[in-house]
Amino acid sequence: MRILIIEDNADLAANIGEFLEGRGEIVDYAGDGISGLHLAVINSYDAIVLDLSLPGLDGLELCRRLRAEESRYVPILMLTSRDTERDKLLGFDMGADDYLTKPFSLPELLARLRAMARRAHAPQSLLQVADLELNLRTLIARRGERRLELSPIGRRMLEKLMRASPAVVSRADMVNAIWGDDPPDSDAALRTHIHALRAAVDQNNPVKLLHTMHGIGYRLAVDDAI
Amino acid sequence: MRILIIEDNADLAANIGEFLEGRGEIVDYAGDGISGLHLAVINSYDAIVLDLSLPGLDGLELCRRLRAEESRYVPILMLTSRDTERDKLLGFDMGADDYLTKPFSLPELLARLRAMARRAHAPQSLLQVADLELNLRTLIARRGERRLELSPIGRRMLEKLMRASPAVVSRADMVNAIWGDDPPDSDAALRTHIHALRAAVDQNNPVKLLHTMHGIGYRLAVDDAI
DNA sequence: GTCTTCGATGATCAGGATGCGCATGGATGT
DNA sequence: ACATCCATGCGCATCCTGATCATCGAAGAC
């Protein structure tokens, strides 16, 4: 998952971030509301951790503005300092999906983030394209009866491609989905991973699913599909 | 937006309704399938929230009957109680546009409703001229049943021509559409690409679509059209 | 009306640029 | 030690371009 942390307490943000990164998530940070909103609009996150009290633009206002955007829906988990704040929040209900009162345990934070993200994708928690399927809960991918061995990056690429299918995923979108703001220097890395993914998906199968759109990107679909 | 909620659980319906009204939406209620279907046919909603399990007429059946109507298409979001129910749904696919498994977050429900409504009014991503079509999402072009092999520049030229059809696209416009501010030195490049595009589109077909307007530009249309 | 003329366009091809697949080895973290 | 990731280098495929020659069409001369 790609997660945005909006939190002005640098120590807390670092704590959360290190923990999440240790569990294989990709984390971006924002120290204030303005830059947080900006990042949230620019990029596409699977979930946002948002502190209620922020300098500049507070959590409630940020939430409201983000929901006002007609763009993609992003699950938001709000952090509050005291129970009283939280109760007040529930009355207001500015559009957060879940709440957590400090102090909290990091494993619980992660669990809630995953639950939110899973619900957000609920109808598609089993992605299917032709005889290829990816279970987002177990993270197991299959092509027919054969189970595919994928690296974490390979899985994310596959997920991105399957969600977009049968549309094309541009190289830029793919790079952004995998590495976010910090892509590797050359684009050779993407080529290498595509190569590995293609080997996993299409090897030993006459029906090819992963197609290259020269100069544009990649596309996952049965060849003659629309 | 005007939204219809068909849900027999009065508490849940009230919850959803209050939330949506708090966000400025207009909400109608139905407590069972029969009255829900009636309301849906009489009025014109931007979206419908439909519980799968209903007394009298269940969600699937209601969905089917509503789709059988020759009237306006209404986006339907189906609520299901358990993942198992949802899996069954995916198999049946009775025409709902989206699914949400209880429990769900209200902001997400709203986001999905808005997304559905927006999608219902989405700009056409399939361009058509006679039996020629170009899918802008998959970037696949067809002439009848035959699939066309196009280069990136060929695709952009075709898109430009199809959008303009049946009007003429001047050479200057075409050059600008493809290369922008940095056109090639000679106009030979454009001629070459037009040649390639003509070969792809009109070869082996008595009905020619790509016409040259001498001294003006190019035009994509059936010969005898205006 | 017909012919002539010349600029505009079509057809074709080869060289060069670019994009991409693929194999390999080193770097990194666990 | 192992998996994973990423950079390098090579070779192939595709694409783009410019050159050249053939053809077409509009406009004026007769």
| Distance, C-alpha A211 to centroid of its chain | 24
Q: What's residue A199's pLDDT?
A: 92
Strand, coil or helix: A110:
helix
Whether this prediction's pTM lies above 0.85 is answered by no
Q: Which residue has the higher pLDDT, A20 or A139?
A: A20
| Helix, strand, coil percentages in chain A from 3-state DSSP, rounded to 5 | 45, 20, 35
Asked if A2-120 and A126-220 have one fold, the answer is: no
- Chain B nearest CA to A123, separation (Å): 6
Q: Domain A2-120: which CATH class?
A: alpha beta
Domain segments of chain A: what residues?
A: 2-120, 126-220
- In whole angstroms, give the CA distance from residue A65 to residue A73: 12
Q: Which residue has the higher pLDDT, A18 or A87?
A: A18
Burial of B133 (0-12, 13-18, 19+ CB in 10 A): middle
Confidence category of residue A196, pLDDT binned at 50, 70, 90: very high
Average pLDDT of the residues of chain B: 83
Q: Which of residues 145-184 of B touch strand C (CB under 7 A)?
A: 171
- Cβ-Cβ contacts under 8 Å, B105 against chain A: 75, 97-98, 116, 119
pLDDT tens sequence across B127-151 = 888 889 898 888 999 898 888 989 9
Q: What's residue A123's pLDDT?
A: 53
Q: Which residue has the higher pLDDT, B31 or A60?
A: B31
- Cβ-Cβ contacts under 8 Å, A224 against chain B: 147
> What would the mean pLDDT of A55-66 be, rounded to a whole number?
84
Domain B126-220 listed as CATH 1.10.10.10: yes
Q: What's residue B75's pLDDT?
A: 86
Nearest by CB to B100, from A97, A122, A224: name it. A122
Q: What's residue A70's pLDDT?
A: 54
Confidence category of residue B90, pLDDT binned at 50, 70, 90: very low
pLDDT tens sequence across A206-216 = 889 999 999 99
DSSP assignment of chain B, as one string? -EEEEE-S-HHHHHHHHHHHHHTT-EEEEESSHHHHHHHHHHS--SEEEEESS-SSS-HHHHHHHHHHSSS----EEEEESSHHHHHHHHHH--S-SEEEESS--HHHHHHHHHHHHHHHTPPP-EEEETTEEEETTTTEEEETTEEE---HHHHHHHHHHHHHTTSEEEHHHHHHHHHTT---SSTHHHHHHHHHHHHHHHTT-SS--EEEETTTEEEES-TT--
Q: Which residues touch strand D (CB under 7 A)?
A: A 149, 151-154, 179, 184-186, 188-189, 191-193, 214-215; B 151-154, 179, 184-186, 188-189, 191-193, 214-215
Q: What's residue A226's pLDDT?
A: 40
Structure tokens at B70: 């020759």
Strand, coil or helix: A126:
strand
